[in-house]
């Protein structure tokens, strides 16, 4: 018998190892005791380099590969994604804080 999909199952994204590796490297490089701020553009460039630029930025967004909050929160991080709103101008970023 087929069951309806749950909200938790909908949020599961198949994130490639290269994406997690990119975030891991940048978190480690930027960690300052309690937190690390990873700029969205930095992690995108790191991901693209790991794929030898065989993929483009749009593929990263189309596949929701930057939706890493749940994955990192499962291992002890609090993750907040922040992007500029209307009439704001600053780089989109992920803030990783020890729980």
Q: Nearest to residue 75, comparing CAs of 20, 4, 6, 11?
A: 20
pLDDT at 10: 65
Give the domain range for residue 78: 16-98
Percent of the chain with pLDDT over 70: 95
27/37 Cα distance (integer angstroms): 7
Tell me the average pLDDT across 9-24. 86
Residue 14's pLDDT band, with cuts at 50, 70 and 90, is confident
Q: Is residue 2 part of a domain?
A: no
Cα 13 to Cα 2, 27, 31, 46, 57: the distances in Å are: 21, 20, 25, 19, 17
Q: How many domains does the chain have?
A: 1
CATH assignment of the domain containing 77: 3.90.1150
pLDDT at 76 over 80: yes
Q: Is residue 1 part of a domain?
A: no
Instruction: Judge whether 40 and 64 are in contact, CB under 8 Å.
Output: no
Instruction: Judge whether 61 and 47 are in contact, CB under 8 Å.
Output: no
Q: Is residue 68 part of a domain?
A: yes
Q: Is residue 7 part of a domain?
A: no
């Amino acid at each position: 018998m087929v069951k309806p999909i749950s909200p938790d199952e909908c949020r599961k994204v198949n994130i490639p190892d290269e994406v997690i590796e990119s975030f891991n490297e940048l978190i480690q490089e930027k960690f300052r005791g309690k937190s690390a701020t990873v700029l969205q553009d930095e992690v995108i460039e790191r991901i693209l380099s790991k794929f030898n630029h065989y993929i483009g930025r749009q593929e990263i967004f189309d596949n929701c590969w930057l939706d890493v909050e749940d994955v990192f929160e499962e291992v002890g991080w609090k993750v907040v994604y922040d992007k500029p709103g209307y009439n704001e101008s600053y780089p989109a970023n992920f803030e990783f804080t020890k729980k």
